[in-house]
Structure 1
C-alpha cells in the first residue's frame, strides 16, 4: 500500500523542483539536445520512476506498475483510435478517392484564400474531430500543396488551422481523458472548453488569410473568414453543451456549408490562384476543369468514408445503442497497484476501464470495414493498408506509450499534486497561467490528450487550493494545449514530412511560434476573465 505525500522534502518549493525533474528532462532532451521523441520520452520516464522511488518513497514495483497502467490506457485512448483513423485515410489514397476529394474542394471557389479556409479550417476540423493526432496536418498540407500553395506556407496554414478543433479531436478524446483523470464530468468539461475554444475558432480564419496573402488577403477575402469563423464558433459553443464528441463534426460541416453558400453570392474582387507546385498564376478555372472530370458517383464515394464515420458515431449516441455498446465494459482495480490519497482514500486513477466494444477506436474500425465495402477494397488490400499504417507509426508508438507511462507515474506517485499545490501559490492569477500549463503539456507530449493525462490533476488540485472552479481550469488545460499543436516536435515533423521538407523543422517553428504565443496570450486573458464576474457566467 502506498500513500501519496505531496510534500516529501518538507519544503513545498523543493518538492516542486523535485517533481518537475521529469518534465525538465523531457524538454531538455527534446528541445535542447534534439533527441528523438521516443528516446527523450523513455529517458523522462526513467527520471520519473527515479523521483517516485527515491524522492517520494514509492516502491519500485508500484512505480513500474503505474507506468504499465499508463501504457495500457494509451492503447485504447490513443493508439487504437489513431491506427484506425489513418487506416481509413490510407485506403482513400490507395484507391484514388483522396485525389477526387481534393479536386472537389476546388469547385468551392476560384480563390485559393477561400479554398485554404475550407480545406485547412473546415475540412481539417472534420478530420481532427474524426481522427485526431497529426492526421489533419498531413492530409491538409498535401491538399494545399496540390492546389498551388508553396509547401512551407501550406504547412503553416495546416498547423495554424489545427487549433480550435483539437480539444474535441478524436471524437472528444482529450475531454474524455480530462474527465477520467479528474473523476469529474467529461460532459461539463466539454461544455466549458467549447466556451473557450469558440473564441479561438472565430479568430483563426482571419489569421489564415494573413498567412496566405498578408494584409491584402485580409482586405479582399474577409467575408469568407467572417462566415467560416462565426458559423464554426457559434456551432461549437452551442453543440459542445449537448455532445462534446460530436460538436466539432457539426461545427466543421456548418462552417463549410456556410462558405459554400457565401460563394454563390460573393467572390473576392481580386482572385488569388497559383499553379500547383509553382509560383505562377494558374489558368482561370483550371482546378474546376480538372474536377469536372469526376463523376458525381466518384465524388460521393470520395466523401463516403467521412459520412460513414459520422453516421456510425451518431448512431452510437442513441441511448439504446450506447447501452448495448457499453454492455461488455469492465472496470477493475489495476492488479498490484494500491495507492491512497493523503486523506486515505483510494486513487480513482488506479482503476482500468476496458471498454473495447464501444471504444472510439472500435467504432472507427467498423467504419473502416464499411469503407472497404463502399470503396470496393478487397480484404487483402485492406489488410495491406493496415500494415502500411502500422509501419508508418514506427517509433511514434514507443513515444506514446512512454508519455502515458510518464503521466501515470507522476500522477500516482503524487508528483503532479505537488506541482499543483505549488502553482496554486499564484492565487487568483493562476487562472491566467492555467492555459500556459496546458500549452507546455502539448509542446511536450504532442497531443492534447497527452497533456490532459499529464496535467489535468494539477489543474484541479490548484483550483481546489485557490477556491476556483476545477471545471474552468481543467478545460483551460485542454484549450491552452491546442495552441501548442503547431509548435510540438511531432506535428512539425508530420508537416515537413507531408510537404517534402524534412530537415526544415527549425524554419517552420520560427514561422508558427509567434502565432502560437499571440493566440495563447489571448486565451489566457479570456480564461482569467472567466474566473471573474466579468465572464464568470460562462462557467456551466
Structure 2
C-alpha cells in the first residue's frame, strides 16, 4: 500500500463500497452487458485508475507505475507461460504425437465421460500441480475439443475441474508461500493440514458434477464405479499428502495415482452404454507401448523441467549472490517507487520452452524452422488475451498499492464472530481480481490471520478458507476465462463462458463459507 490511508472517507463502509467498484463493474461488464473480455478489462482499468488516483490519493507516478508493473508481469511470466504451453501443444500436434496420445486415451475407453475423468479431471490436476498459471486449462481444454467436445463446453469443464486442484498449483506455492510471511502461529504446514477439512469434500464432489454436466444423473449412474475410483483415490491421496507431507506434491501424486488406477480399473470394467457426444465412435489406429510412451513425451518433459525449475537448489541459482543472479533484471519503474524483478531464465515459461525445444530436437517429424513458425503463430493468436491479462493485473496492482484491497479486507474483518462465514469471500475477491491463489494469499492471508487472533478463531483455518474461497474464483476469474477462451479459439466469447461457470463458482463458494463457519465453532 503506497497511500497514507485505506479509508479516504473516514467511513470504512463507504470506502470499502467504493473499493468494490472494480469487482462489481467487471462482473457487470461480463455478465449483464456481455462485453468482450478485452473491452471489459480496459474499461475497468481506466475506472480503477481514476478511483485509485482521485479517491484513494495514489500519486500519479505510483498509479502509472502500478499499471506498468501489471503490463510487465502480464507479459512475463504469465503471458510467457501461456504462449509456451500452447506452443508445446502445437508441436505435439504437428509432429503427430498428439494423434497417438489421443488414441491412447480413446484406447482406454471410447466413452467420453471416462475421457473427461481422465483428461478434464486427472490430467488437469496433474498439470496444475506441475505448472499451474493456466497451463492445465489451456492444454486440457484443447485435448477435450480434439475428442469431440464443443469449445466453450470443454473450457467450462476444465475450469470447474480446476476447482479440485487450484489450491496446490505449481508445486503447492499458494499454500507454501504462507510460511514466508512470518504470521503468528500460522505456517504453511498448519494451513495445509487445515485444507484437509474442506477441500476433500469438494474434490470428491467435482467428478460427479463434471459427469452430471454432460450426461445428467443417468450418466452418473452408468459410470458410477469409474467416478468412485477417481474421486476416492484423488481425494484420499490428497488429504493424506496435505496432512502428513505438505502442499508441494498435493496435486501431482494424487492425480497420477487416480489416473493410473482408473486406467487399470477400466481394463476390467467398461460402462454398458458407450456415451458419445456426436454419436460416432472415434476411430484410431492401434499403437505399440513404445509409440504411446513417445507420444506422451512432451508432457513428461514438461513435468521434468518444471519440477527442476521448482527445486530450491535451482531457485537458489537466481537468488542474490547465486551463480545466475545476473539473469534476473531488477529495476525501479521510472517516476515511481515500485520495484520490478524479471527472471529471464528462472521463469516457469523457460522450463516449458526447453520442453518444446527438446521435443522438436528428439523427433524427425518437425524441423526447428517449423517449430519457430508455430511459435510465431501462437504469439499472433494470443496477443489479445495477453493484453487482457496485462490490464487485469494492472487493476490488481492499482487496488493493492492504492489501498483498495486493504479497505475491503478491513471492512469484512469488522464483522466479528460472523467473519468466518465471510472469510472465503475475501479469498474469492482476491483471486477474481488477480487470477492467482498465490497473489490472493499474499494480499489477504495476513488480514485473515490477524482477524483470527482478534475474534479467537484458529488463524490457520481462516487462511485455509482464504485459499479455498480463492480457488472457487478461478472458475470465473477474468484471467482464467481469457486463457480458456483463447486456448479453444473462442476469444471474444468471454461473457458466454463466464455465464456458463459463474453459478458453479458461487455455489461452491457458498458451501466453503458455510462449512468454514461450522468449523470455526469447533476449532
Greater RCO (Cα-Cα under 8 Å, separation 6 or more)? 2
SS state at 1:163 partner: helix
User: Given that residues 420 and 461 in structure 1 are in contact (C-alpha distance below 8 angstroms), is that contact kept between their aligned partners in structure 2?
Assistant: no
Q: In structure 2, what is the equivalent of residue 99 of structure 1? A: 99
> Is 1:365 matched up with 2:353?
yes
Per-residue deviation, residues 442-497 of structure 1 (Å, max 9, x unmatched): 45555555655776666556556645455443443332233344445665676667
User: Given that residues 130 and 306 in structure 2 are in contact (C-alpha distance below 8 angstroms), is that contact kept between their aligned partners in structure 1?
Assistant: no
Shift of 1:129: 3.3
Q: In structure 2, what is the equivalent of residue 90 of structure 1? A: 90
Q: In structure 2, what is the equivalent of residue 407 of structure 1? A: 396
User: Given that residues 168 and 174 in structure 1 are in contact (C-alpha distance below 8 angstroms), is that contact kept between their aligned partners in structure 2?
Assistant: yes
Q: In structure 2, what is the equivalent of residue 236 of structure 1? A: 238
* Corresponding residue pairs, total: 514
Q: Could you tell me how far apart the structure 2 residues matched to 1:402 and 1:500 are?
A: 20
Q: In structure 2, what is the equivalent of residue 207 of structure 1? A: 209
Q: Could you tell me how far apart the structure 2 residues matched to 1:185 and 1:407 are?
A: 26
User: Given that residues 426 and 466 in structure 2 are in contact (C-alpha distance below 8 angstroms), is that contact kept between their aligned partners in structure 1?
Assistant: yes
1:516 corresponds to which of 486, 505, 520: 505
User: Given that residues 459 and 473 in structure 1 are in contact (C-alpha distance below 8 angstroms), is that contact kept between their aligned partners in structure 2?
Assistant: yes
Shift of 1:104: 0.5
Q: Could you tell me how far apart the structure 1 residues matched to 2:331 and 2:408 are?
A: 26
> Is 1:421 matched up with 2:410?
yes
Aligned CA-pair RMSD:
3.6
* Match runs of 1:329-340 below 5 Å: 329=325, 334=332
User: Given that residues 106 and 291 in structure 1 are in contact (C-alpha distance below 8 angstroms), is that contact kept between their aligned partners in structure 2?
Assistant: no
Are the structure 2 counterparts of residues 104 and 472 from structure 1 closer, same or farther at C-alpha, using a change threshold of 3 Å? same
1:296 corresponds to which of 279, 286, 289: 289
* Match runs of 1:46-195 below 5 Å: 46-147=46-147, 154-172=154-172, 174-175=174-175, 192-193=194-195
Q: Could you tell me how far apart the structure 1 residues matched to 2:98 and 2:36 are?
A: 31
User: Given that residues 88 and 298 in structure 2 are in contact (C-alpha distance below 8 angstroms), is that contact kept between their aligned partners in structure 1?
Assistant: yes
Per-residue deviation, residues 186-212 of structure 1 (Å, max 9, x unmatched): 676556556543332111112223223
* Structure 2 residues not aligned, in runs of 5+: none
Larger deviation: 118-127 or 326-335?
Answer: 326-335
Q: Could you tell me how far apart the structure 2 residues matched to 1:387 and 1:97 are?
A: 21
Shift of 1:185: 6.1
SS state at 1:22 partner: helix
Q: Could you tell me how far apart the structure 1 residues matched to 2:484 and 2:309 are?
A: 33
> Is 1:10 matched up with 2:3?
no
1:313 corresponds to which of 302, 306, 322: 306
Q: Could you tell me how far apart the structure 1 residues matched to 2:393 and 2:151 are?
A: 33
Q: Could you tell me how far apart the structure 2 residues matched to 1:220 and 1:465 are?
A: 50
* Match runs of 1:268-283 below 5 Å: 268=271, 270-274=272-276, 278-279=278-279, 282=281
Are the structure 2 counterparts of residues 141 and 355 from structure 1 closer, same or farther at C-alpha, using a change threshold of 3 Å? closer
> Is 1:379 matched up with 2:381?
no
Q: Could you tell me how far apart the structure 2 residues matched to 1:187 and 1:370 are?
A: 36
Shift of 1:228: 0.9
Per-residue deviation, residues 65-111 of structure 1 (Å, max 9, x unmatched): 23333433444442232222222112112222122111111122343
Shift of 1:5: 1.0
* Match runs of 1:37-48 below 5 Å: 37-48=37-48
Are the structure 2 counterparts of residues 189 and 35 from structure 1 closer, same or farther at C-alpha, using a change threshold of 3 Å? farther
Are the structure 2 counterparts of residues 456 and 60 from structure 1 closer, same or farther at C-alpha, using a change threshold of 3 Å? farther
User: Given that residues 83 and 378 in structure 2 are in contact (C-alpha distance below 8 angstroms), is that contact kept between their aligned partners in structure 1?
Assistant: yes
Instruction: Compute the TM-score of the two structures, normalised by the length of structure 2.
Output: 0.84
Q: Could you tell me how far apart the structure 2 residues matched to 1:49 and 1:26 are?
A: 14
1:253 corresponds to which of 251, 256, 261: 256
Q: In structure 2, what is the equivalent of residue 391 of structure 1? A: 380
* Structure 1 residues not aligned, in runs of 5+: 340-349
